[in-house]
A and B are shown apart, each in its own frame.
Chain A
Amino acid sequence: QVQLVQSGAEVKKPGASVKVSCKASGYTFTGYYIHWVRQAPGQGLEWMGWINPNSGGTKYAQKFQDWVTMTRDTSISTAYMALSSLRSDDTAVYYCAREALSTGYFEYWGQGTLVTVSS
């Protein structure tokens, strides 16, 4: 069965960087886009961007364009999301999600990774 398993919770100081991983299993990793969505405490869902695991191509939401980097390692079927220059309002749960083939919706989600930014 399809699974997306994310790395564990992180605590970072303001100005630091964080890298969250998302390991895929149960399907051909290079066949489906991986998206990243975040959710601040008590808030809604916010789309950050996607990566095409086949080509490595990316598309970021304008808000995150200058400080997010999405990469992948096809040898271990893992996608990564790195966020730099962290601020306290980056404290959130970060989810990876697989998009169903060019359909615009997210059919499988990782369990989420809590990133806490605090001095």
Chain B
Amino acid sequence: QSVLTQPPSVSGAPGQRVTISCTGSSSNIGAGYDVHWYQQLPGTAPKLLIYGNSNRPSGVPDRFSGSKSGTSASLAITGLQAEDEADYYCQSYDSSLSALYVFGAGTKVTVL
């Protein structure tokens, strides 16, 4: 059971817009901690996609955008492309004793 809740899967046709939600609680996202997003292509290590809720590292296309509000965050992919088919994970900091850095269970994005 992940501390951050994501939908298991989302899908869209090429060119469409998809969004992935990430819901937390008052000990993580709701406490004001930033949300970060990672993309994991099959068989590879995760790659930082969005940091600090809405910032893109150098080299990440502007088709990817992030936002945060209250105890939730979202990742949006506009102009969906075939190479965007991957698993996406949200991550934040948690002030509880069990784990400090927490991830969502991941969302599989399928390009139809």
Contacts and interface: CB of A to CB of B under 8 A. Distances in A.
Interface size grouping (class) on chain A: 20 to 34
A47 B101 contact: yes
Interface of B: 2, 33-34, 36, 38, 45-48, 51-52, 57, 89, 91-93, 97-106
Nearest to A62: B98
A26 interface: no
The 3 tightest CB contacts between A and B, nearest first, are A105-B36, A47-B101, A109-B45
28 contacts: A44-B103, A44-B104, A44-B105, A45-B103, A61-B99, A61-B100, A62-B99, A63-B98, A63-B99, A95-B45, A97-B46, A100-B51, A103-B51, A104-B34, A104-B36, A104-B92, A104-B93, A104-B101, A105-B34, A105-B36, A105-B52, A105-B91, A106-B48, A106-B91, A107-B48, A107-B51, A109-B47, A111-B45
B48 A62 contact: no
Interface string A16-50: 00000000000000000001010000001111000
B103 A47 contact: yes
A111 B36 CA distance: 20
A110 B45 contact: yes
A107 B57 contact: yes
